[in-house]
Amino acid sequence: MAPILEINNLFKNYGSTEILKDINVAIEHGDFLVLVGPSGCGKSTLLNCIAGLEPITSGKMAIDGQDMTKVSPKDRDIAMVFQSYALYPTMTVAKNITFGMKVRGIDQATQDEKLAYVAQQLQIEPLLKRKPGQLSGGQRQRVAMGRALVRDPKLFLFDEPLSNLDAKLRVEMRTEIKALHQRLGASMVYVTHDQIEAMTLATKIVVLKGGIIQQIGTPAEIYNRPANLFVADFMGSPAMNLIPAKTRSNGNGIEIEIARKNHDPIVLTDTQNKDLPENVILGVRPEDIADAAHSRVDKTQEADCVIDIVEPAGADTFAVMQLGGKHVTARLHSETSATAGTKQRLAFDLAKVSYFEPETGLRLN
């Protein structure tokens, strides 16, 4: 079976400004692709290109094996949910949902049947006669989803659909979208700047920056093996600790030396990697720095660190310290004995460590 969406060598310019550079992505039927990146990275433009709302400058795009590069949006068999919901303000909810079918000349009985089904799926039956202006943000969001669902398209496109909702509703709707994806088995492309949304929803993530794909992979790949410093810093909350360090080879691996102000450097041993340049950026996730007392890591990987700030966050407590001239965050047990200004014995788990080249920012291991 052909991939549901295949983009090859896509370029997009506005005048002389390059918005998207050499985009290559393919997803399979049932995939949930999330395009994530900071604002202005071109992710919404890419989605608009997939929808056909923006012409592409060069490259090719196919949906379900059919070339769609120059096909108009209405013939691409897609449905889209917009950030502002874009409900038609003068139409009732029911008319909003059936507008697409009406335009396509689908008979009234089928329209009614599909409307009823979608309304029931999204629990918006009591709202059908209302106008968008009379709905709350969450309700509008549901109607916008309904308008997309009722079409039963090959590909669903979502353009930051949750960013206008309050924090609580956002988490609820996120779960609902995920449930919907699992129930329908539909193929979806989803744009967000929220890396948590990306991690929770995606089966495949594309990280974009400045119109260039930084990394494509499953959420686990992106999280555990970020391709460069940007991805490492962007994905994960709190962000990955990126610590300047020196390496030297020893018998069965490498020794990593992290300088500290007013203290001896920390020296750790990594037995999984070798042959690294002398100067590297060490990438360690906060959860890989733990209280020595609660850690299963080898004793040699422990060090006493002076904690500057302690931030209890309920389930975990975050401790911030200075290592290699950077703020480094450790995710400690909620019942940790760490207090600000005192020394704490911490264990460094290097099983998932990342190394980056300081100049280019590229991953080394």
Partner 1 sequence: MTDMSYTTSTSGKGVGKIALRWGLYIMLGLFALFYLMPLFVMLTTSLKSLEEIRTGDLISLPREVTLDAWRTAWSGACTGIQCEGVRPYFWNSVLIAIPAVMISTLIGALNGYVVAQWRFKGANLFFALMLFGCFIPFQVVLLPMARMLGLMGLAGTIPGLIFVHVIYGLGFTTLFFRNYYVSIPAELTKAAKVDGAGFFRVFWSIFLPLSLPIIVVTVIWQFTQIWNDFLFGVSFSQAGTQPVTVALNNIVNSTTGVKAYNVDMAAAIIAALPTLLVYVVAGKYFVRGLTAGSVKG
Residues that bind partner 1 (CB under 8 A): 48, 51, 53, 72-74, 78-80, 82-91, 99-100, 103-104, 132-133, 147, 151
Q: Which residues contact 100 (CB under 8 A, 6 or more apart)?
A: 79, 147, 150, 151
Least CB distance from residue 102 to partner 1, whole Å?
9
Question: Which one, 73 or 265, has the nearer CB to partner 1?
Answer: 73
Residue 54 dihedral angles phi and psi, to the nearest 5°: -125, 130
Least CB distance from residue 81 to partner 1, whole Å?
9
Question: Which one, 85 or 223, has the nearer CB to partner 1?
Answer: 85
Least CB distance from residue 161 to partner 1, whole Å?
12
Question: Which one, 87 or 124, has the nearer CB to partner 1?
Answer: 87
Question: Which one, 48 or 295, has the nearer CB to partner 1?
Answer: 48
Q: Which two tokens stand for residue 72?
A: 């108009």
Exposed / middle / buried, residue 143 (Cβ in 10 Å: 0-12, 13-18, 19+): buried
Question: Which one, 80 or 207, has the nearer CB to partner 1?
Answer: 80
Cα(316)–Cα(332) distance, rounded to whole angstroms? 6
Question: Which one, 80 or 332, has the nearer CB to partner 1?
Answer: 80
Least CB distance from residue 70 to partner 1, whole Å?
15
Question: Which one, 97 or 346, has the nearer CB to partner 1?
Answer: 97
Question: Which one, 156 or 223, has the nearer CB to partner 1?
Answer: 156
Question: Which one, 59 or 73, has the nearer CB to partner 1?
Answer: 73
Task: Specify whether the CB–CB gap between 337 and 345 falls below 8 A.
Answer: no
Question: Which one, 83 or 273, has the nearer CB to partner 1?
Answer: 83
Least CB distance from residue 110 to partner 1, whole Å?
15
Beta bridge partners of 326: 323
Least CB distance from residue 238 to partner 1, whole Å?
34
Least CB distance from residue 300 to partner 1, whole Å?
57
Q: Spell out a b/e string for 271-309, using b for 16 or more CB atoms within 10 Å of the CB, else e.
A: eebeebeeebbbbbbbebbbbbeebebeeebbbebbbee
Cα(188)–Cα(186) distance, rounded to whole angstroms? 6
Q: Which residues contact 66 (CB under 8 A, 6 or more apart)?
A: none
Least CB distance from residue 99 to partner 1, whole Å?
5
Least CB distance from residue 328 to partner 1, whole Å?
42
Least CB distance from residue 113 to partner 1, whole Å?
18
